[in-house]
Amino acid sequence: MATHPPDTGAWASRMIRNTLGLAAWTAAWVASVALAAFGPGVFWNQQPVPTMLAIAFSVLIGVGMLFANKRNLQGLDELQRTIQLQAMAWSLGAGLVGGTAWSLFDRHDLVAVEAEIAHLVAFMAVVYVAGCVAGVLRYR
Amino acid sequence: MKNRLKVLRAERDWTQADLALALEVSRQTVNAIETGKYDPSLPLAFRLARLFGLPIEDIFHDQGQV
């Protein structure tokens, strides 16, 4: 008769909890950034004090997101951490090289749009997600 | 590095999910080790050896080994 190995489902449930926690912190951070970006024009007529408070709030939520990300990474297994490391390496490298090139294009007026940090964030996010997908496919 | 993980698991009629839960890793990790796409760390190799009650060298083989 088949015997099953000891089931330690605690790891799996802890990983799900960490992932959901990270998703919640990320959503909160995105919302806080949106508030800091659009709040001055939409809600409080460009007054500096609420704007500063909104930015400070966004930084606080961002710090929470960083710790949630650290907790999530520590809870992954070694292959998942390898995939994350490779995706983050691609994202960082592409962000550095691509961001610098984009900034130079802007400085020498070779592009019609103005280079903004949001472009870099979006580019790095796309590279990171592509890196994660590539890693999952590589070890499938 | 080659390994006998799939055979050992099949002998015990364990699924990849069973093994993954016991090792506290994802099913993808078990599959990647079985197919030779990923070599586990030494601590994970020891956990596998303990779980199967075998020495590490009975589970993993260096491909260069004669």
Q: Which domains does chain B have, with CATH numbers?
A: 2-56 (1.10.260.40)
Question: Scanning the structure block, which residue is given the tokens 């990300």?
Answer: A69
pLDDT digits (tens, 9 = 90+) for A75-119: 999 999 999 999 999 999 999 999 999 999 999 999 998 989 999
Interface of A with B in 48-107 (CB under 8 A): 77-80, 82
Helix axes B42-52, B16-23, angle to 10 degrees: 120
Q: What's the whole-model pTM score?
A: 0.86
Instruction: Output the pLDDT for position A7.
Output: 67
Instruction: Output the pLDDT for position A1.
Output: 45
Complex ipTM value: 0.90
* Residue among A3, A6, A78 whose CB faces B12 most closely: A3
Enter the tokens of residue B6: 């799939």
Instruction: Quote the mean pLDDT of chain A.
Output: 94
Chain B residue whose CA is closest to A136? B28
* Residue among B18, B37, B44 whose CB faces A78 most closely: B44
Which of B43, B24, B11, B35 is closest to A138 using CA atoms? B35
Task: Report the run of H or E that residue B3 belongs to, with start and end.
Answer: strand B2-3
